[in-house]
Amino acid sequence: MTTTRPAFSRLGTVTCFGALLAVLAACSSAATDAGAPGSSGLVEPEQQGPTADVSKGGDANDAGAPSGGNTKDAGGAGLRVVQVALGGGHTCALLSDGRVKCWGLNRAGQLGLGDEENRGDGPAEMGAALPAVDLGPGRTAKEIAVLVQSTCALLDDGTVKCWGERRGLTGEDIDVGEAPGQMGAALAPLPLPGRAKHLFAGFQHACVILEDDTTRCFGAVNDFGQLGVGDKTARPPSTTLAPLAFPGGRKAREVRPGTTHTCARLDDGTVSCWGDGNEGELGTGTKTTALVPGGPVDLGGGKRVVSLATSAQPVLASVPHGYNCAVLEGGDVKCWGYGSAGLGIGYVPNSLANRGDEPGEMGDALPAVALGAGQRAVSIAVGMGLTPYATMSCAVLENGSVKCWGKNAFGTLGMGDTLPRGEDPATMGNALAPIDLGPGVKVSAVAVSTSYGERLSACAVTTDGRLKCWGFNKDGQLGLGDTVIRGASPGQMGAALPYVDLW
């Protein structure tokens, strides 16, 4: 049976209004969060093309399946990592045989293993010793998505199952997956209007694209209209969820829920955003809130968007922050919203260097991120902490390398130091080195976490179907059998950074 928790017993679903400093103190002392609500690391097949995600199609905060390489190199009898997603201190991977394995923080049963024991923070807990999540008799997963302290999987039959803390997503004040007998056949799929073919998650809301190409969003919080249905009323998953109406009757190919806003990449390559726009998240040149999808966001040049990422804070604060990054045809990256190092175009600390909240900031006036001479991106991932300006973005480049910029307090940029990149434009372009993941290692997808402070983590799926993770590691979210931070000191990256053992 499920376990009921007192209201606000888990930091991952704290609703914070008022003094932000008090929230920061409480959150910093109590918990870690690794995955942006998305955070993600998801790959979409249809989005893949030149992009990095494999499980969902090639764009994402979630990192998806690699596009090539020797499957024998992956180790487990030809197994490969198809997708990785980082949540609130936990990480999950989808394997090529449809199994899901999760490790790291497990205080709410988000690992789906019938207990509350962390995995990956001690020896002999990974590899064959790490059980796969029981999804039910004969069921396998096609995609995964994580929230701060919960995990969801889109199964092979088009249903969606979620475990861990359920309050933010369904409104149920329960945890599922923390005790024996809660998973497998005992875990009912979410009630949805039809079979899903794609799944996306944010802080406290999620969206699915159904087989009929309609998009439905649900969650226990809708204070800013982030569900896109024309009001601010929360909607748990239901068979009566209304479809979102996109401009011009367009269909979504990718949906990126944040905390208080949501964006979607549509079938014509444009971007539509809705929800909170106080800091330019909607890219409209105003600070207004939109209760239904708007757009198209003007990114200049008339180029189609091929990959999209949206950040999410780990709590709902009175002054929420959010930003987005998009990869355009041709490989340019443009970011807008909350002014921070994560935008990659420089900012002045303690100033409001937002992009998209004032006229004249979007379109051709919005500069592309300087990735270096001749460097073109294929996919993008972003992450955000609660501490002001704690943002981070990573792009997978056409040559299989990864470049990251933003805050770097725990080595999340993988540069062997804790120096930020992107605050000063001089740290970008050719000056921004690709992450060293080892000789000859190429990447097909990257995922970035969300954090309560600046405790960000990241993972990359390599083209031979293996996984490397670095950054903050308090709860074993890197899956390396310890709690040692990787990437903040010299000698920790490259060949010295182990692959995550998943088989």
Query: Residue range 252-262: average pLDDT?
Result: 95
Looking at residue 5, its pLDDT comes to: 37
The residues near 397 (Cβ < 8 Å, ≥ 6 apart) are 331, 371, 375, 376, 377, 378, 403, 434
Percent of the chain whose predicted confidence (pLDDT) is above 90: 71
Confidence of residue 307 (pLDDT cuts 50, 70, 90): very high
pLDDT above 80: residue 479? yes
- Residue of 23 and 288 predicted with greater confidence: 288
Looking at residue 454, its pLDDT comes to: 77
In angstroms, the CA 174 to CA 6 distance is 9
pTM as predicted = 0.86
- Residue of 384 and 45 predicted with greater confidence: 384
In angstroms, the CA 327 to CA 130 distance is 35
pLDDT above 80: residue 73? no
* Average pLDDT for the chain: 85
Confidence of residue 221 (pLDDT cuts 50, 70, 90): confident
User: pLDDT tens for residues 323-369?
Assistant: 999 999 999 999 999 888 889 998 655 455 899 999 999 999 999 99
Confidence of residue 390 (pLDDT cuts 50, 70, 90): confident
Looking at residue 388, its pLDDT comes to: 58
- DSSP E strand stretches across 166-247: 174-176, 196-201, 205-210, 215-219
Looking at residue 76, its pLDDT comes to: 62
Positive or negative, the CA dihedral 96, 101, 103, 107 is positive
Confidence of residue 466 (pLDDT cuts 50, 70, 90): very high
Confidence of residue 68 (pLDDT cuts 50, 70, 90): very low
Query: Residue range 216-240: average pLDDT?
Result: 95
Tell me the C-alpha to C-alpha distance, in Å, between residue 414 and each of 72, 122, 178, 432, 482.
27, 22, 33, 12, 18
Percent of the chain whose predicted confidence (pLDDT) is above 70: 81
Token duo for residue 310: 């949206």
Query: Residue range 59-88: average pLDDT?
Result: 61
Query: Residue range 393-415: average pLDDT?
Result: 95
pLDDT above 70: residue 196? yes
Confidence of residue 60 (pLDDT cuts 50, 70, 90): very low
Confidence of residue 148 (pLDDT cuts 50, 70, 90): confident
Looking at residue 264, its pLDDT comes to: 98
pLDDT above 50: residue 437? yes
Looking at residue 308, its pLDDT comes to: 98
CB atoms under 10 Å from CB of 309, counted, come to 33
Query: Residue range 294-319: average pLDDT?
Result: 85
pLDDT above 60: residue 41? no
Closest listed residue to residue 317, CA positions, set 16, 31, 92 = 16
Token duo for residue 244: 């979102």
Confidence of residue 313 (pLDDT cuts 50, 70, 90): confident
CB atoms under 10 Å from CB of 489, counted, come to 13
Confidence of residue 22 (pLDDT cuts 50, 70, 90): very low
Lowest mean pLDDT among 7-21, 139-153, 169-183, 382-396: 7-21
User: pLDDT tens for residues 89-129?
Assistant: 999 999 999 999 999 999 999 999 999 999 999 999 999 99
C-alpha 91: how far from chain center: 11
First to last CA, the chain: 30
Query: Residue range 489-503: average pLDDT?
Result: 98
